[in-house]
Structures are given as structure tokens and as C-alpha cells.
Amino acid sequence: MIDRARRRWRLALGRYANERLGSLDGHDGQLDRSLDFLYSREYQKRGIKPGRGPGSLDPTQMNAINWLGEARSLFPESVFEVLQDHALDRYGLSDLLNDPKALDALEPNQNLLKVLLGFQGRAQPQVKDKLREVAKKVIDEIVERLRTQVQRAFAGRKNRFRRSNIQSAANFDWRATVRANLKNYDPERERIIADRVFFNSRERRHLPWRVILCVDQSGSMTDSMIHAAVMAAILSGLPGVAVNMVLFDTSIVDVSERLTDPLETLLSVQLGGGTDIGRAMTYCEQFVEDGDRTVMVLISDFYEGASPRALYASVARLAEQRVKLIGLAALDSDGEAEYDTLIAGRLADLGMSIGAMTPDRFAQWLAEIMQ
């Protein structure tokens, strides 16, 4: 039995550390073999051919499908998801996506959806329907999570000219209540005895707004694209809000007519390619009818492949029309982003508000702009 710290190092370093740290058996041996099946590929990528020593796994002992089932049973769910993501994204175990039974064993999550979007054009015909089924499950979960947050942000604003019978602290109108009960002031107790209490009602917004989402579909923006498609579907269901969505790299795909189904929107995407932000923004200008009631949201890492002059000119024209301009460097769940600070800074100088935030915060920001 090796001590805990030694065991952890041995699992991390793999069977090549047997000589110094000792071999593993029992449950730890199973963990070691499962990790070795996946991460020995790191050595292969560097031109090192793994030997077939006592602790090795060769293709006759395990395939990707068997590994998937074993890894799921051996590791906690959070660890298994990391292993699954590495298997699909880093080591390209496409066997996992060419077998319907393997797809049943995969854990549906956003990282898996990203892989599926990139794999869709290479999938075998017999698994395409299964791929869509898994992707739809992930999309539906994201929609349910974000819909409540978006609807809460756009639920309504206080109407101080209309009274409500819904008595809650959030709606309490203390000014009207004090004013109506001043006559009931008790000098001995030094307090107002309120016999009439007022509450504000809330009115639903019916805003004549247009939201234009101009979304970079390069590989680095996949998380943002997923959330943008979901956000477009939710926003298009709000009363008084018209939504246009354009996906771009060096070409442009206008998906404005199919926003109600985020999966169909995402399946329109061909990941990769260069980036021509200026061309896409110029295309989106045609949707502006009333600048005062238009929000243009550019979702990109701002790494412009073409000359930035067209981009700057488009943003300047939109600002002149009083369009509300938002530049989002990310829409993923962690709010992390890497972007071209030089171009983003220039766009900010031209009147675009630049941010990097989670989808729920973006919904709140959008609602505040559309007050």
C-alpha cells in the first residue's frame, strides 16, 4: 500500500512512473488502466509508442466504447465529464460518436454539444438522428435554465400610476402610504398609524424594440454561439420584440427566419473559417428601421481577419443613427473571454459598450437598455 500523496502522483504520472512510485492494483489498478487508455495518447502525439508492459492496455483489451462504460462506473460524475470532454475534444475518439449505444452512455452537457456541432458533417448516417436527440436534450436544458432568467429580467417595471391588490414588499409604495396617513400621526407614540396601505402594480412590457444579434461562428466562439441561439429563441417569444440573427465568418448566414428552434439554428453553423466582422455588421445595418428602438449586439472575439476600416465605418454609422451598440466578447457560463483589446477599445471609442458576461447578466443588461 502506498501513501495517499504517492498514490495521487502515481495516478497522475501513469504507468511510466512504476519504477519509482510502484504499480497499482485492485480498484486503483482499474483507475490507472482507464486513465492510461485515454492519456497514453498524449505520448503517441509526441511520437512515443507505448510499450505493452504489465500495466498496459492494448487495443485487444479495451476499445473506446468499453472504456466509456468503465470510466463512467469508476469515476465521480464531475471527473467523468472531464475525461469525456478530453476523449472527444483533445484525442478525437470519434468511435464514441459513431455508435448509437455509445451515445446513450455519454453525459449530455454543453461541452458534448460543442463536439457534436463540429462532428455533425462527419457522422455516420445511422447515428445522425441519435446525435440530434442528444444535442436537443442539451439545448432544452439550457433553454429551461435561461428562459426563467430572461423572463424575470423582462417581466415588467413598476407602474406608480396604478394601484395593485398584490401586497408584497417589492411593490410597497411607502411614499403614497405616508402621504395618505399623515392625518393619523400619533404625537404621543411618535408614529403614523396607517389605515390605508398602497402597493404599486406591475405592467408587462410591450416594447417596440428590435434586437440584432451578429454572431461570430469561428471555433473559439462556440459557447457564445450556443447561448446566442438560445437567447434569440427566448427573446423572439417576448411581446413587442423583433429579433434578427446573423452568423458569420468570412461568409454570412442569416438565420432570422428559424429562431424558434435553437438546434436548427446551430445546425446551420459550419465551424471554422476566417473572420470578416465588418462585412457582417454592414449586412446587419439593413435591419435598422428606428435607431432609438434598436439594439445591435456583436458577439465576437474582435479578431478581425479583414481590414477593420469597414467595421469601424459600420459602427460609426450605427452610432449616428442612435442604435444601442453592445459588443460581447463571451456568452459562456463562466464569463471568461479572450479578445482583441485594440479593436474592442476602438469600438468603445465609437460608442459601443464592450462586455464579457454570463448569459443571465447579459439578459439583465439588455432589459436595462430597453427600459
**Do 95 and 217 fall within a single domain?**
no
127 occurs within a structural domain = no
**Do 285 and 333 fall within a single domain?**
yes
Ranked by mean pLDDT, which of 10-14, 146-150, 282-286, 298-302 comes out on top?
282-286
What local confidence, expressed as pLDDT, does residue 36 receive? 83
Dig out the grid coordinates for 169 from the structure: 414588499
Inform me whether the pLDDT recorded for 217 exceeds 80: yes
What local confidence, expressed as pLDDT, does residue 174 receive? 67
Each residue's pLDDT tens digit, 258-294: 898 898 888 877 656 688 999 999 999 999 999 999 9
More confident residue, 346 or 43: 346
**Do 235 and 174 fall within a single domain?**
no
**Nearest alpha carbon to residue 294 among 321, 258, 265:** 321
**Nearest alpha carbon to residue 321 among 206, 205, 210:** 210
**Do 192 and 60 fall within a single domain?**
no
In the block, residue with C-alpha cell 396607517: 194
**Do 163 and 70 fall within a single domain?**
no
Dig out the grid coordinates for 72 from the structure: 463512467
More confident residue, 311 or 49: 311
Q: What is the pTM of this model?
A: 0.65
Inform me whether the pLDDT recorded for 329 exceeds 50: yes
pLDDT band at 111 (very low <50, low <70, confident <90, very high): confident
More confident residue, 236 or 177: 236
Q: From CA 66, how far away is CA 198, in angstroms rounded?
A: 66
Please write down the HEC assignment for all residues of the chain: CCCHHHHHHHHHHCHHHHHHHCCCCHHHHHHHHHHHHHHHHHHHHCCCCCCCCCCCCCCCCCCHHHHHHHHHHHCCHHHHHHHHHHHHHHCCCHHHHCCHHHHHHCCCCHHHHHHHHHHHHHCCHHHHHHHHHHHHHHHHHHHHHHHHHHHHHCCCEEEEEEECCCCCHHHECHHHHHHHCHHHEECCCCEECCCCCCEEEEECCCCCEEEEEEEECCHHHHHHHHHHHHHHHHHHCCCCEEEEEEEECCCEEECHHHCCCHHHHHHCCCCCCCCCHHHHHHHHHHHCCCHHHEEEEEECCCCCCCCCHHHHHHHHHHHHCCCEEEEECCCCCCCCCCCCHHHHHHHHHCCCEEECCCHHHHHHHHHHHCC
Half-sphere exposure of 32 (CA within 13 A, CB side): 22
**Do 214 and 303 fall within a single domain?**
yes
pLDDT band at 180 (very low <50, low <70, confident <90, very high): confident
In the block, residue with C-alpha cell 440573427: 245
Q: From CA 82, how far away is CA 76, in angstroms rounded?
A: 10
Domain of residue 336 covers: 209-369
Each residue's pLDDT tens digit, 97-110: 777 777 777 778 78
**φ/ψ of residue 329, rounded to 5:** -80, -15
Average pLDDT estimate for 170-198: 73
More confident residue, 327 or 164: 327
**Do 194 and 235 fall within a single domain?**
no
CB atoms closer than 10 angstroms to residue 140: 14
More confident residue, 147 or 190: 147
Q: Kindly report the average pLDDT of the chain as a whole number.
A: 79
Inform me whether the pLDDT recorded for 363 exceeds 80: yes
Looking at 168, 203, 238, which one is the last position of a domain? 203
Q: From CA 295, how far away is CA 285, in angstroms rounded?
A: 11
**Do 168 and 71 fall within a single domain?**
no
Q: Is residue 111 left, alpha or beta, with left meaning phi > 0 and alpha meaning psi from -120 to 50?
A: alpha
129 occurs within a structural domain = no
119 occurs within a structural domain = no
pLDDT band at 61 (very low <50, low <70, confident <90, very high): very low
What local confidence, expressed as pLDDT, does residue 283 receive? 97
Residues 261, 228: contact at Cβ < 8 Å?
no
194 occurs within a structural domain = yes
Ranked by mean pLDDT, which of 59-68, 131-140, 308-317 comes out on top?
308-317
Half-sphere exposure of 347 (CA within 13 A, CB side): 34
**Do 194 and 295 fall within a single domain?**
no
**Do 199 and 236 fall within a single domain?**
no
**Do 55 and 187 fall within a single domain?**
no
Each residue's pLDDT tens digit, 192-209: 777 776 666 554 444 589
346 occurs within a structural domain = yes
**Do 213 and 238 fall within a single domain?**
yes
Average pLDDT estimate for 48-71: 56
pLDDT band at 314 (very low <50, low <70, confident <90, very high): very high
Looking at 77, 111, 145, which one is the last position of a domain? 111
280 occurs within a structural domain = yes
Look at the chain and report how many structural domains it folds into: 3
Looking at 56, 79, 111, which one is the last position of a domain? 111
More confident residue, 178 or 226: 226
**Nearest alpha carbon to residue 296 among 350, 346, 333:** 350
16 occurs within a structural domain = yes
pLDDT band at 89 (very low <50, low <70, confident <90, very high): low
Q: From CA 300, how far away is CA 133, in angstroms rounded?
A: 28
357 occurs within a structural domain = yes
CB atoms closer than 10 angstroms to residue 79: 12
What local confidence, expressed as pLDDT, does residue 59 receive? 39
pLDDT band at 160 (very low <50, low <70, confident <90, very high): very low
Inform me whether the pLDDT recorded for 140 exceeds 80: yes
Q: What is the CATH number of the domain that holds 240?
A: 3.40.50.410
pLDDT band at 47 (very low <50, low <70, confident <90, very high): low
